[in-house]
């Protein structure tokens, strides 16, 4: 073993003989030389460099020269000519010139079409539900003009006022939420490294101008179209533009397109085109933008709106037939009854309430540092059942750390001594990842040089695979040497304690570390005689083995536990080795049922516990060694099994899966590519924000569901109640009072957007059959409460005898104005009180509402009672009623309100239970018939019908805010189109510069 000791020739630095490596004269010794050879990618042809066929000293080129490809082809001309044409050099522009060019060319972003605020305000009145109200207004002002009676101005103005109030509330909330989201998104505006006046700066990409020198590296989005002036092993993903699935290698002189992603290497280039003149901008102009912000909400609004419209339509037709054909009503009298159904039955505030709820929800999530870039992601996150998470940088810190609990010692040194000596053998400046983690494990980095004098240091290199320090110990004055590095290399250097026993122990320890996914770092030590720091020592002694790993984030384990408690299963999907994935899973409590990515191609082993690949994916706690296409495939298969998937990630390689997932979540510090593909962008480290977002999304979902049940129930309650009263008693309720009910209802219900509700402990989903079932039950129950009240008043003397009250008319008739007031008050009070039942899971008094909702309800009921006591409006056929009648109505409503919870419980035990069991049977049958392959696509805006698309005017503020800072830019363009524009971009730049020559 003495031949393995370090040997030194006189006057030369010490060298070490090593067994690994071929002799210098072997053929393999030339292997490094082979790496210098460049191989062209398939289909990549070199274009011979050309020169512009014009006098480049004359910068003011003519337009015909700029667009004559035979003279100036900026795709192939040499870089020097590009610099001359753009009047710049490799040191970058001056700040003054940059400012001048920014005025000429404008910001480097697509011009977003600003929506006129007034038109945005009016857009809240543009949907089928509003159209019915607008039709009612026309009926009141146009069709009601006849039979010696003036137009119904009161109802007309009331309807218009109701429409404007809804639009005003929606506009205000959307505007506020949009500002809150944009403020956070502005803080994440894409950045670019630019050289100006010879110095590198980081600026917003929107400030780039033609002639700027830019630099980008792996994971960055190319900020503008540029020609590369320096390229080190560069590979660019242009899939978003060209549809090419594989990244393209780029070399010096090649062109890179704005919006493409750097997958490998580092590059510098000169900007030749910005903003709308880039390939990206041209493509956006050609093909437009795909708005995917409102699809799911469109569908829900359309179906709920259809339910209400059908219910109203049935009773309107019935009234036309019964009132006109049967009762021979005159023209105006029948129209008033139809107006009651149109005004009272339409949930005019529904689009506004739902969009305001989402807008306020997005604003609340922004307070938790979660930026929502696709509005339907809020409701989809509420239904997520599986969270697929990248490991490095997401579940873990992406910072290597020494595990101090399992340091292996082989000599007289303690574990603290081993770590300290390893820190001695580490650089304290310009550190690599290993040196950083070793020095960082000391707690105080300055200890790495305390008490010693550095004499010589050999940094890590790929050949020796170790670092070495020679130092003088200040306390004893002795010279000592420490080395750390790859285990196989270090043990070969050791000569003092390299025994069979030590080697066996070392081998066992390294194998243990490997099975746990821990990287081993060996440390050896020797002493030197004399003062010559270059002299040989007394022989290295193996003193310890350090375990290095990427530790989980502090909050990750709690986040995973919280997610599991919310019914969301977490699966790790990582590109790291299987052993590392298993160890991370054990530390996080995820489990260690991990599989290598190859099973996605090969499938489960024959005879194993999994019959199909889908079963294996569902059972797995995670997958290791995956590439982007594997992540995409996993998400796709889970969606195929009927799950809504969320995917978290931070790197450019996560972008495909982030885009495919129902909810893509880019964690704090994510690359521009990952943020661009995500639906939610986190601006705080760790995953704890995801739990806030899941809870928040479920709260928002519950608010939307509660209102939907309420709105549909009120529709049933109004149309059925007043339809039956009209048929039975020829009851002509004044339309204006229905307007008052709708106005007070809307003012109260708007506060649902901030209501205090409990999130469900299981994933949520829209079940319209349940919503409509509840609505019909509540609506018919409330209808019964009103009809029985009218029957008791008209058919009996109960109230007169018991409470000594009476109506003005004698005998009692259905057209009595005071009876109209009594019915108004009864309908107004109990209809609003219904919201307290629909918003709670158990008894209504067990879940406290928000103070805003409670206050709005009390104010509305006070106003209703005051109207009942004092309103004497002749045009509405109502008269004030006594305090006794008001008290009777309140007591009557309380008596009918209290059993409403039992109606809810009865529905849960019967109809709702039946619907859920039927749905489960249907899912099981579909899974059985399709072999478990239930197709499920991402819920995006595809405007399944014209009817659904009519609700698309909502929640557009996030899309506008996103575009302003460059998010969500996903456009595609054929290779032919790219080539068609290739020779025009920088030429256009040169033409603009020619029109604005430099002032210097």
Active site residues: 390
Q: What φ, ψ does residue 779 adopt, rounded to 5°?
A: -60, -45
Strands 622-624 and 663-666: unpaired
Beta carbons of 232 and 251 less than 8 angstroms apart:
no
The residue whose two tokens read 């021979």 is 328
Beta carbons of 486 and 522 less than 8 angstroms apart:
yes
* d(C-alpha 524, C-alpha 530), whole Å: 20
In three-state secondary structure terms, 192 is strand
Three-class SS string for 523-576?
Answer: EEEEEECCCCCCCCECCEEEEEEEEEECCECCCHHHHHHHHHHCCCEEEEECCC
Other C-beta atoms lying within 10 Å of the C-beta of residue 872? 10
Q: What φ, ψ does residue 873 adopt, rounded to 5°?
A: -105, 105
In three-state secondary structure terms, 860 is helix
Tally DSSP H helices, then E strands, for the chain.
Answer: 37, 22
The tokens of 306 are what?
A: 């259809």
DSSP state of 911: I
386's enclosing H/E stretch is: strand 386-389
Q: What is the DSSP string of 50-81?
A: B--SS-TT--S--HHHHT-TTT--TTTB-HHH
Alpha helix locations (H) across 730-797? Answer: 735-749, 768-795
* d(C-alpha 54, C-alpha 71), whole Å: 6
The tokens of 750 are what?
A: 């708007």
* d(C-alpha 172, C-alpha 177), whole Å: 9
Query: Whose CA is closest to 989, among 90, 102, 105?
Result: 105
- Quick one: CA torsion of 223, 227, 231, 237, rounded to 10 degrees? 50
Q: What φ, ψ does residue 214 adopt, rounded to 5°?
A: -120, 160
Other C-beta atoms lying within 10 Å of the C-beta of residue 625? 17
Other C-beta atoms lying within 10 Å of the C-beta of residue 749? 26
CA distance to 791, 794, 800, 806, 873, per residue, from 812 (Å): 11, 6, 12, 9, 20
Contacts of 832 (CB under 8 A, 6+ apart): 744, 745, 748, 857, 860, 861
Beta carbons of 497 and 541 less than 8 angstroms apart:
yes
* d(C-alpha 879, C-alpha 986), whole Å: 78
Cis peptide before 531 (omega within 30 of 0): no
The residue whose two tokens read 């009623």 is 881
* d(C-alpha 772, C-alpha 234), whole Å: 57
The residue whose two tokens read 């870089």 is 79
Maximum C-alpha span of the chain:
130
* First CA to last CA distance, the chain: 74
Beta carbons of 940 and 295 less than 8 angstroms apart:
yes
Angle at 277 between CA 274 and CA 278, to 5 degrees: 65
Other C-beta atoms lying within 10 Å of the C-beta of residue 312? 22
Give me the half-sphere count of Cα atoms (radius 13 Å) on the Cβ side of residue 760. 22
Q: Length of the chain, please?
A: 1000
* d(C-alpha 661, C-alpha 680), whole Å: 11
């Amino acid at each position: 073993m003495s031949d393995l000791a370090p040997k030194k020739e006189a006057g030369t630095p010490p060298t070490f003989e090593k067994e690994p490596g071929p002799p210098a004269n072997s053929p393999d010794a030339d292997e490094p030389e082979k790496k210098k050879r460049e191989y062209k990618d398939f289909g990549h042809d070199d274009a011979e460099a050309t020169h512009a066929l014009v006098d480049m000293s004359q910068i003011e080129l003519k337009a015909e020269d700029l667009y004559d490809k035979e003279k100036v082809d900026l795709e192939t001309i040499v870089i020097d000519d590009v610099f001359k044409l753009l009047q710049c050099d490799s040191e970058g522009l001056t700040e003054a010139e940059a400012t001048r060019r920014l005025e000429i060319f404008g910001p480097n972003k697509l011009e977003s079409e600003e929506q006129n605020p007034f038109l945005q305000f009016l857009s809240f009145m543009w949907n089928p539900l509003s159209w019915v109200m607008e039709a009612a207004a026309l009926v009141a002002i146009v069709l009601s003009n006849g039979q010696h009676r003036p137009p119904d101005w009161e109802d007309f103005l009331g309807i218009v006022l109701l429409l404007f109030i809804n639009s005003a509330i929606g506009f205000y909330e959307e505007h506020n939420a949009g500002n809150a989201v944009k403020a956070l998104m502005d803080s994440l505006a894409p950045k670019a490294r630019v050289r100006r006046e010879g110095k590198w700066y980081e600026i917003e990409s929107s400030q780039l101008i033609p002639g700027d020198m830019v630099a980008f590296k792996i994971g960055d989005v190319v900020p503008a179209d540029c020609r590369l002036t320096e390229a080190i092993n560069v590979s660019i993903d242009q899939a978003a533009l060209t549809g090419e699935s594989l990244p393209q290698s780029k070399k010096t002189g090649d062109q890179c397109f704005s919006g493409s992603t750097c997958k490998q290497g580092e590059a510098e280039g000169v900007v030749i085109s910005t903003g709308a003149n880039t390939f990206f901008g041209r493509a956006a102009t050609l093909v437009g933008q795909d708005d995917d912000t409102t699809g799911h909400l469109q569908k829900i609004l359309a179906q709920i709106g259809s339910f209400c419209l059908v219910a109203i339509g049935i009773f309107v037709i019935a009234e036309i037939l019964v009132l006109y054909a049967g009762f021979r009503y005159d023209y105006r009298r029948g129209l008033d009854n139809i107006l009651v159904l149109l005004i009272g039955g339409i949930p005019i505030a529904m689009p506004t309430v739902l969009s305001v709820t989402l807008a306020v929800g997005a604003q609340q999530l922004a307070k938790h540092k979660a930026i929502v870039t696709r509005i339907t992601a809020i409701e989809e996150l509420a239904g997520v059942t599986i969270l697929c998470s990248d490991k490095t940088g997401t579940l873990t810190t992406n910072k290597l750390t020494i595990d101090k609990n399992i340091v292996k010692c082989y000599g007289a040194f303690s574990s603290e001594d081993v770590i300290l000596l390893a820190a001695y053998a580490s650089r304290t400046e310009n550190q690599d990842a290993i040196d950083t983690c070793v020095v960082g494990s000391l707690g105080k980095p300055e200890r790495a040089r305390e008490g010693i004098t550095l004499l010589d240091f050999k940094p890590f290199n790929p050949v020796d695979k170790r670092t070495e320090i020679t130092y003088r110990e200040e306390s004893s004055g002795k010279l000592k040497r420490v080395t750390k590095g790859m285990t196989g290399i270090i043990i070969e250097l050791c000569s003092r304690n390299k025994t069979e026993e030590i080697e066996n122990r070392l081998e066992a320890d390294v194998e243990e570390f490997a099975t746990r996914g821990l990287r081993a770092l060996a440390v050896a030590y020797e002493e030197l005689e004399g003062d010559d720091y270059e002299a040989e020592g007394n022989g290295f002694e193996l003193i310890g083995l350090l375990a290095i790993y990427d530790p989980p984030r502090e909050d990750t384990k709690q986040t995973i536990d919280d997610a599991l408690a919310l019914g969301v299963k977490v699966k790790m999907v990582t590109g790291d080795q299987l052993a590392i994935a298993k160890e991370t899973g054990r530390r996080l409590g995820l489990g260690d049922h991990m599989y290598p990515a190859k099973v996605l191609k090969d499938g489960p082993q024959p005879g194993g516990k999994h019959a199909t690949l889908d079963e294996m994916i569902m059972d797995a706690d995670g997958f290791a060694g995956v590439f982007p296409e594997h992540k995409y495939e996993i998400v796709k298969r889970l969606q195929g099994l009927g799950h809504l998937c969320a995917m978290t990630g931070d790197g450019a390689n996560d972008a495909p899966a982030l885009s495919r997932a129902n909810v893509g979540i880019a964690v704090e510090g994510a690359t521009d590519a990952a943020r661009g593909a995500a639906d939610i962008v986190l601006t705080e480290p760790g995953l704890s924000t995801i739990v806030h977002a899941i809870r928040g999304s479920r709260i928002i979902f519950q608010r939307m569901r509660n209102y939907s049940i309420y709105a549909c129930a009120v529709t049933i309650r109004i149309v059925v109640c007043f339809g039956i009263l009209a048929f039975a008693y020829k009851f002509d309720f004044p339309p204006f009072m229905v307007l008052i009910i709708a106005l007070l209802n809307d003012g109260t219900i708007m506060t649902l957007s901030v209501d205090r509700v409990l999130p469900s402990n299981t994933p949520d989903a829209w079940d319209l059959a349940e919503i409509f079932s509840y609505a019909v039950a509540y609506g018919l129950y409330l209808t019964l409460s009103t009809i029985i009240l009218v029957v008791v008043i008209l058919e009996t003397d109960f109230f007169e005898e018991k409470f000594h009250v009476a109506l003005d008319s004698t005998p009692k008739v259905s057209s009595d104005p005071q009876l109209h007031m009594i019915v108004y008050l009864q309908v107004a009070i109990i209809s609003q009180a219904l919201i307290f039942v629909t918003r709670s899971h158990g008894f209504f008094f067990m879940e406290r509402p928000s103070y805003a909702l409670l206050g709005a309800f009390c104010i509305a009921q006070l106003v209703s009672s005051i109207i009942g006591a004092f309103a004497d409006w002749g045009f509405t056929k109502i008269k004030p009623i006594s305090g006794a009648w008001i008290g009777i109505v309140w007591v009557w409503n309380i008596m009918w309100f209290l059993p409403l919870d039992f109606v809810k419980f009865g529905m849960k035990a019967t109809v709702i239970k039946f619907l859920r069991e039927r749905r489960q049977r249907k899912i099981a049958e579909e899974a059985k018939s399709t072999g478990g392959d239930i197709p499920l696509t991402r819920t995006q805006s595809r405007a399944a019908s014209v009817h659904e698309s009519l609700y698309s005017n909502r929640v557009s503020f996030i899309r506008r805010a996103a575009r302003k800072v460059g998010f969500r830019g996903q456009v595609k363009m054929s290779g032919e189109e790219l080539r068609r524009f290739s020779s025009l971009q920088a030429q256009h730049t040169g033409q603009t510069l020619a029109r604005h020559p430099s002032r210097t």
